[in-house]
């Protein structure tokens, strides 16, 4: 029984920039998904864990582009009225 399940792989890590600021960073493949400034390494580790688990819960199959949908426009009475006419204009007169 070899079932291949495709699950998304999220990577989170703590990074320090050249100015010395700590960041909790979440990656999906080679893309940065989320980046938050943190105050300490301890908080950064906790935040990375939370970010990875939240992303795995929200997008278990990975981030995917939404599929294109075709818009079907339906004409009704409002779209067939003359351009200069407003609703309720004949009631005010």
Q: Does 36 fall in a domain? A: yes
The domain containing residue 15 runs over which residues?
A: 10-58
Residue 4 has pLDDT above 60, yes or no: no
Residue 52: give its domain's CATH number: 3.30.160
Residue 63 has pLDDT above 90, yes or no: no
Which residue did the predictor score with more confidence, 28 or 88? 28
For the chain, percent of residues with pLDDT exceeding 90: 43
Which residue did the predictor score with more confidence, 29 or 16? 16
pLDDT score of 1: 45
Q: Does 23 fall in a domain? A: yes
pLDDT score of 60: 79
Query: How far are the Cα atoms of 4, 49, 71, 88 from residue 9, in angstroms, in the given order?
Result: 15, 13, 34, 57
Q: CA-CA distance, 10 to 33, in Å (whole number)?
A: 9
pTM beyond cutoff 0.85: no
Q: CA-CA distance, 66 to 48, in Å (whole number)?
A: 26
- Total structural domains in the chain? 1
């Amino acid at each position: 029984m070899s079932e291949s399940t495709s699950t998304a792989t999220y990577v989170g890590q703590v990074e320090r920039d050249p100015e010395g600021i700590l960041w909790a960073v979440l990656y999906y493949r080679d893309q940065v998904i989320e980046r938050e400034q943190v105050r300490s390494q301890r908080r950064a580790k906790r935040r990375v864990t939370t970010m990875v688990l939240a992303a795995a819960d929200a997008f278990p199959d990975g981030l995917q582009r939404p599929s294109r949908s075709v818009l079907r426009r339906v004409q009704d009475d409002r779209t067939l009225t003359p351009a200069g006419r407003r609703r309720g204009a004949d009631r005010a007169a």
